[in-house]
Structure 1
Amino acid sequence: MYVLTQANEKYMGDALMQKTYTVDFLTKKRVKNNGIVPQYYIEDNHEAIIPKELFYKVQEEKARRASLNKAAVTRKTNKLKKEKSKFSSKYALTEILACAECGHPYRRQTWSKYGQKSAVWRCENRLKNGTKASCKHSPTLKEEPLHNAIMTAINKVVENNGDFIGAFRENVIRVIGGYSTKDIPTEYDEQIESLQKEILTLIEENAKQGAVAEDFDGEYKRISEKINELKQAKLKVVREKKQAENYKQKLTEMDSTLKTVKPQVREFDEDLVRRLINTIKVNKGERLEIQFESGIVMEHTIDHYE
């Protein structure tokens, strides 16, 4: 659906007024509003096309996919360059399995030996650079034991999901404790509007003189910088409010997910892994460090190739 790919607040029923403004009333020329005239954000201005929860969830997913276009270090130049990820998110572990030693993600490989094919997971750094890689102890993991270890950890959580949800709730409360889910304070808009009026007055007074006054540039810069500071402060509060709402939504989703999980899930479940696990770090030797979305961390040892 096209609307789901667009970061337009109108789709969820909100409206940002005066994104542009008229600079020439004769030609009707309009330009982007970069703070010269007031802007107003109106929540629930009209009937939404999609629910806000879905809108925020899609934006979060877009951000996650964008992160796949990662910055990679080239050993020859030792400079950062943008490198579009060549790896899809077909496998849940592609997004969460990483080398604890160098920080690079693990990638799935298919090995063939004596006519038999087997899947393994290897550190991307070791794949690209071999023995020259900065991580000297990252193991190659057999897929089946890896899957079994992850499902064992998930089953332990599912069997004792009361503690799991309790820990998650505590983490959520800790994170959003200083955040406000109330309406954004109007003081920012009031101060910004007052300063915008000052700028308009400054421009009008300067225009009457027919030439640029000596102190015009300095005063214009001072007011503009103050407006920008207030906008950044307001933006921070807006982001914190949305983050608090997202955490609450995630808590609700976690509750729903665990209610649908049957005890002792045997087969590896890509969707379940995506929903419950945040990261898995592969330490040297055979040790996995599995961090759940709740903040709970479990360690597990598995079979591996040297």
Structure 2
Amino acid sequence: MATVTIIKPTIDTSMIRKIRCAAYCRVSSSSDDQLHSYSTQVKYYSEMFNDSDTEELVDIYADKGITGTSEEKRDEFKRLINDCKRGKIDRIYTKSISRFARNTKDCLKNLRQLKSLGISVFFEKESIDTSDVSDEMMITLLGGLAQEESTSISQNMRWSIRKRMANGTFEQGVAQYGYTKVDGKIVIDQETSKIVKDIFKWYLEGIGATSIARILNDKGILTGMNEIAWTHRMVIYVLTNEKYAGDTLIQKTFTTEVLPVKRHINRGERDKYYISNTHEPIISRVDFDKVQEILSEQKEKYYVAAKEKHPLGSMIKCSYCNKTYRRKNSNGKYYWSCITHDSQADLCPAHMILEKRIYDAFIKLCNKLIIHSGDILIPLRHELKELYSTKYSSNSVVMDLRRDISEINEQKHVISRLRTKGFLDEKKYNEQLLVLENKHSKIKHELAKLSNSEREDDTLEQLDTLIDCFENRSIMTEFDKEIFGIIVEKIIVKENDLEFYLISGLRFSETI
């Protein structure tokens, strides 16, 4: 007969590790009532685990007064997920699905990630435990309802904001650089307003935006973000901001109405509201308008390609014979055909291309650059600038000469505009231009002896143009001949592809 031996337990049950629990709380507003709700939730979870024999509270994660439509702005929620990845938590408690997430996609993504880490979530209001696999369908349904609720609330808030914009009662949350808020009203800041005045004064004197940014950085003047990082774009932003003339343009940007919410520049998709004399101006109306006229003319000259011929004319080249393509009309449709193939088809096998296919290929290329501008163009510009800076950093003479040429070129453009508008008489203009031309010629001659950096400066300038064309732009649906004229140098037709040669030396191929 078998003998049974009882082995007594050697571990005290009181020493068994408890389940490490975390609580996540969130309120959707910063109002007093909601802050009280937040405090109540924190107190509730703190007391919940006091007498538990199996569970212990590790930490309470609570986001206050932050939107629930996206997890990007929920710092405590992200801290919770990171602690879960580090193995600090076994189980999460939260009041409801709407507290956990109001975006179904993010909700399920995070729940599945937590489940893969062996961490369960318990939603008290719905009595759903993610350790029960059958509950995932219920989570999907309730998460969708929470998303619809959040969308409805967001739409109501947007309607309220638009009404206040239309009747002039909408108040901006943050004062612009040069101003400050006192008792809810925008008033001039005596220190930073001096910088704004200097920027407008320098620009009207013929100093370009890039040079102004350099002057501000050299002086150690901080931007609105308390950084010494003034750039060409930041100076242009100041020069074009209507608030410095005492006015306010509302709804320059707008948010999408579906989740996840995204912010876009208002290029005409929504109403804008221009309100005059909303606060004390820093810049006189006369000076502000003068600056806008100069900027407008500079933009027109730089960006508009004044081509009377067809935008594709002389732009398309054959990869077989290197000859130009020309436009042809066949049965009401336009095609582009190689000149050699048209005259002697046996000498060139290139086929005709429907004009619409060329347009479609360009639109496809532009939309890729619009979507991936931050991943391609901006990092490329940064890397090239660092490379060129490193290349000449040991040669202070080259660096100084390059800065001088850039400043002179900007001054020449500005005095030309001032003369055109009558702000500078012909005699004074010729005197200043002669001085600048002599300086430019001497510096360029010196620079040519030391480096070939002129081509590198052109590359950076052209990359800036590409970034301006595609950054924060809506998806393109129609062929834009203005953008095409600015960025495309030529098109090479290959077997089944079009190779677009863009300014700055970039090349992209699209299938046709």
Larger proportion of strand: 1
Same fold judged by TM-score > 0.5? Answer: no
* TM-score (norm. length: structure 1): 0.45
Rg larger in structure: 2
Higher relative contact order, chain-length normalized (CA < 8 Å, sep 6+): 1
